[in-house]
Structure 1
Amino acid sequence: MRLTKFGHSCVRLDTGQGLIVIDPGVYSDPAALDGADAVFITHEHPDHCDEARLLDFHAKRPDVPIYGPELLAEAPSGLAYTCVSAGDVIPVAGTEVKVFGERHAVIHPDLPLVANVCYLVDGVYHPGDSLTVPDMPVRTLLAPVAAPWLKIAEAIDFARAVDAEAVHPIHDAILSDIGMGLPDRLFPQLVGDSYRRIPNGQTATV
């Protein structure tokens, strides 16, 4: 399977039988949706779910399912989502997408928690904005490395807990090039040589 990063937390997975897009948000390249056979959203925040872009995409490709947590279906846009929750298994693009998780990580105690689901696709794990460790093996972890809800120590401990063969950073659009150097230094030191950054627009085999 081939994984292409389209900025921030958006990735596209080419299974050889179809294209799966996860979290096309406002910080990601619109080209991520080109040719998509299924779209998966982890949660409602716009850096993961660009509803205006998805409405346009749905108008052009109404046959393509868009999956997300139940609360997305209540969004004012009225975009048609197929609701998923932890334990679901969705057959798509010649493979299966397994669903984990329930809630976004805490940003601040005074802010409400939103629903957040995580996706495991042929061993590739996208946690959205959570530190949910799945109860099954992960080959490739897409690890959030910078967020208002996240400390670098938590990101490193999360990667250690998941214990994947490969770790690729996501959720990094808020970092400058200089800032990206911090996880690029600390992850190899504290997690190991499994860590490798995929530059935006580039593809890795996973």
Structure 2
Amino acid sequence: MRLTHFRHSCVLVEMSDTRVLFDPGTFSQGFEGLTGLDAIVVTHQHPDHIDPVRIGALVDANPDAQLFADPTTAAARGDRWIAAVPGHDYGIGNLIARAVGGVHAVIHPDMPTIDNTSILLGDEERIGRFYHPGDALFVPDVPVDVLGLPVNAPWCRISETIDFFRAVSPTVAVPIHDELLSPEGAAIYLARLTDMRPDGADLLRWEAEATQEF
């Protein structure tokens, strides 16, 4: 498995001759020229996860890609977009995407909740080879090899992030959802997550547009 981080929550997963791009949002950079994608997956409607300006060109450049999003976003965009409904599996190339969760984390009780479809990506042998939770801390009921770990958000305290990291207990976590932090602030968060990670798990730090092999 090969992962490329295009800042914030945008991650390209290349595995089993299949290429899947997650959450190309406004805070992300470098995904614009991608072609040959098998799927584009959007976990929810917020612009830091789907850039309303750049998504059209990305879709046009990948005419054969399957387009998955949470039910609200899929309905709003129409056309080729498929609603990823929690509890269902979807075939993407040689992989399986399992939709789980379903609800965005609470930002404030006075704000209405919205859809958020977290995605497990893998195969019949192991569905949880990669897990992208979007803006939620939903703990799946299967083992996870590589977790995209949200580091900082208006909806999340670091204590909740640590508890989520420990509950999922992946083999390795890669930090995502971190563009609201300064470099100095990010270093503090990553230090705490490293110190308090679950037994047997690693936290792998990566730079913008960096690629890692697993």
The bucket for the TM-score relative to the shorter chain is over 0.9
Moved more, 9-18 or 171-180: 9-18
2:10·2:21 contact (CA, 8 Å) conserved in 1?
A: yes
What SS does the corresponding residue of 1:31 show, helix, strand or coil? coil
Distance 1:91 1:78, change over 3 A: closer
1:13·1:19 contact (CA, 8 Å) conserved in 2?
A: yes
Between structures 1 and 2, the one with greater strand share = 2
| Distance across 1 between alignment mates of 2:32 and 2:22 | 9
Unaligned runs of 5+ in 1: none
1:24·1:30 contact (CA, 8 Å) conserved in 2?
A: no
| Distance across 2 between alignment mates of 1:108 and 1:79 | 33
Unaligned runs of 5+ in 2: 123-128
What SS does the corresponding residue of 2:58 show, helix, strand or coil? helix
1:33-81 CA distance string (max 9 Å, x none): 6022210010000000113212222234332221011111343x55641
What SS does the corresponding residue of 1:55 show, helix, strand or coil? helix
What letter corresponds to residue 64 of structure 2 in structure 1?
Answer: D
| Percent of paired sites with the same residue | 36
- Count of aligned positions: 205
Aligned match of 1:53: 54
Distance 1:204 1:30, change over 3 A: closer
| Distance across 2 between alignment mates of 1:79 and 1:33 | 22
What letter corresponds to residue 119 of structure 2 in structure 1?
Answer: Y
What SS does the corresponding residue of 1:52 show, helix, strand or coil? coil
CA RMSD of aligned residues (A): 1.6
What SS does the corresponding residue of 1:187 show, helix, strand or coil? helix
Deviation beyond 4 Å, 4+ runs, structure 1: none
Partner residue of 2:166 out of 154, 160, 164:
160
How far 1:108 sits from its partner (Å)? Answer: 0.7
| Distance across 1 between alignment mates of 2:132 and 2:104 | 13
TM-score with structure 2 setting the length: 0.90
1:61-104 CA distance string (max 9 Å, x none): 332221011111343x5564111111111111311111111100
Aligned match of 1:31: 31
How far 1:124 sits from its partner (Å)? Answer: 0.8
What SS does the corresponding residue of 2:90 show, helix, strand or coil? strand
